[in-house]
Structure formats: structure tokens, C-alpha cells
Amino acid sequence: MNSKLIQKITASLSIALLLLLGAGMDSVQAQQDTRYSQYMFNGLVLNPAYGGSVEGTSLSAFYRNQWLNIDGAPQTYSFSGHSRLGDKIGVGGYVQHDEIGVTKTTSAYLTYAYRFPFANANISIGVNGGVDFYASNLTDVQALPGSPGGLDPVFQEDVSRLMPNFGVGIYYHSDYFYLGASTPRLLTNKFDTPTKLARQYRHYLGTVGIVLPVTKQVKINPSMLFKTVPAEAPYQFDFNLNLIFMDMVWIGSSYRTGKEFGPESVDFIAGFMLRNGLRVGYAYDLTLTELEQFTTGSHEFTIGWDLRKNNDMIITPRYF
């Protein structure tokens, strides 16, 4: 396959991806809310009830570069932080910037959670509120020679919109187990694109995970993330299994399902966490769909820091 043909295929994929996003097709709606392979360390973005689930203050930053070598493929940056106020209240917020093709979305949300003891653990109920700034520079799209894209009215006008939204969640957790459910955005705002079809879709998320000791030095940490957009996109599961060594190093893998429960990717995860609360992680996603012909996979990096009062060392490590 020569380089010119590869370039044409890449350009076609980029434009097709944009068209699907604007039209709200199923294959892209599942991706409308950003995916994270290391979701177990990005709980606040997924569920507002996660705020205050760890002692002190917790900070996390993520960078995700999806579908390498495909022009216009998604890139995501996020930063979140939350803290516990007293024994019952957790407050926090996050900022997320997502790019796909000529479309950029920047989100800023504040979160509030109320927690109370329940069945030898804690249960939290949380809400978030904020805005999504959506901007699509459709006039920057360059159609391939001989294609009708340049005459399409969809690409004759740039689109931008500021959209308020809010979400809710519930989160049950102990030091070694968690179970959560959330809807991060409840409002289905329209993007006001020329097609008049694109809108934000309500995503429903569920998470569960547990830490089980194998030996004094080794633990296993199975977990799962469930995502759905009812009547608009297929169910999607992330099944993950991490091995934790000496409460410091974790190595694991995930399997992500796609349409009709077929394979979408297999992910490899590694990282470490220190007693001072510093945490660094990396994930590589190997694509298992038709896109594997054009991409070598996806990279995801995270760094976090859990700050305890008076610089106390962490006695119980954070597993999620």
C-alpha cells in the first residue's frame, strides 16, 4: 500500500469520523463521553459521589492519545481534585479538554457529595454541575479532490456553544471494595450544528471493583466499568484485572467490548504508588477492530497525588 493511498484513507477516516459525530451515529455516540482505560483512578470524572472517598486531598491528571497515526483522532486532557470536609462532605471539581478532528470540547464541573456509614463501609450521594464549551471549526475541513465535501452545507459554517449541565451519582465503598452508578450529564443539549441532529446524550455508568489478598506481598484487583446510552449506542464493558505487588506496583490488563459485545481493544496497564501519595500510571490500548489497519493503538498517562493532613504517610494504600 503506497503512502499516497494511506494518506487518502487517513483523510477519509478523519472526515467520516467528523460526519458521524455531527450526525450522532451509534458508533461515535459510545465515544461521546471520553473513555479512560485507567478509570479506577479517575473516579470523580465518572461519578460525582466519588468526591471525598479518600482522606485528605486527592489530585489527578490524565492525558490520552487515542488511535495513533490517524489524523483527527481523539486526544484528551483532564485534571481533577477533591477533598473531604469533616466526616460527611466531599467537594471537588474537574476540567477536561477533548479534541476530535476539528471539534474541541472543554468542560468544567464542580462536585458535591454527602457520605454516611452503611453496612460496615460508606455510601455517598453526589451531584455535579458545570458547563461544556463545544466548538467545531467545520470550515477547516478540506475534502479530498473530486469529492462533494466542499459543497456540503455542513462545512460552510463554524459552530460553537456553551452548554450547562449537571449529573448525579451514588458510590458505596470500603478500603477494599467499591460499587457505583452515575449519570454524569442529565441534560441532552443540542449542538446546533447545520444537520440539527447532533446533541449530548445521557450516559449511564456503573463501576465495581474489589481487592483480594493472594499472599502478604501480592493482591489481585478485578474491576469492571459498564457504559450505555439507551437506544442510541451498544452496551460497553471494560473488564480489568490488576496484580498489586507490595502495595506499590500494579500490572494488569483490560478487555473492552464493542458493538454486539465483540472485541474493541485489549489494554495493558502498569504503574506505581509511593507511601507519600504519589501515583504514576500508563496504559496502552491495542485496537481489535477494523481500525487496527491504520493505527498502532492508544496511549494513556496519569499522575496523581494524595495529600494527607500534616504530611502523614499513607498507612492504607489507595487501590481505586
pLDDT band at 194 (very low <50, low <70, confident <90, very high): low
Does the structure show a pLDDT above 70 at 91? Answer: yes
Secondary structure tally for the chain: helices H, strands E? 3, 15
Give 136-165 pLDDT, tens digit per residue: 887 777 666 655 555 566 666 778 889 999
Residue 81: is its pLDDT beyond 90?
A: yes
Range in 1-15, 184-198, 226-240 with the lowest mean pLDDT: 1-15
How buried is 271 (Cβ within 10 angstroms: 0-12 exposed, 13-18 middle, 19+ buried)?
buried
The pLDDT assigned to 139 comes to: 73
Domain with 226, as residue range(s), is: 3-311
Q: Select the more confidently predicted residue: 34 or 39.
A: 39
Three-state SS at 41: helix
Residue 29 CA to residue 22 CA, distance in Å, equals 10
CA separation for the pair 301, 294 (Å, rounded): 22
- For the chain, the average pLDDT equals 84
* Strand 159-173 relative to strand 212-213, pairing: unpaired
The pLDDT of residue 142: 67
- CA dist 62 and 319 (Å) reads 17
User: Cα(110)–Cα(117) distance, rounded to whole angstroms?
Assistant: 24
Give the pLDDT mean for 282-307: 93
Domain contains 317: no
pTM for the full predicted model: 0.84
Task: Give whole-number Cα distances, 259 to 28, 205, 232, 233, in Å.
Answer: 11, 17, 12, 8
Q: How confident is the model at residue 114 (pLDDT cuts 50, 70, 90)?
A: very high
Q: 71 lies in a domain?
A: yes
d(CA 143, CA 20): 15
40 vs 1, which has greater pLDDT?
A: 40
Domain count, the chain: 1
The answer to whether position 20 is within a domain reads: yes
240-290, pLDDT tens digit by residue? 999 999 999 999 999 999 877 889 999 999 999 988 889 999 999 999 988
Kindly state the percentage of the chain with pLDDT values over 90.
58
Give the span between the Cα atoms of 241 and 224, in whole angstroms. Answer: 9
In a domain, 217, yes or no: yes
Residues 6+ apart with CB under 8 A from 287: 67, 264, 265, 295, 297, 298
CATH code of 258's domain: 2.40.160.40
In a domain, residue 282? The reply is: yes
Give yes or no for a contact between 297 and 286, defined as CB atoms under 8 angstroms apart. Answer: yes
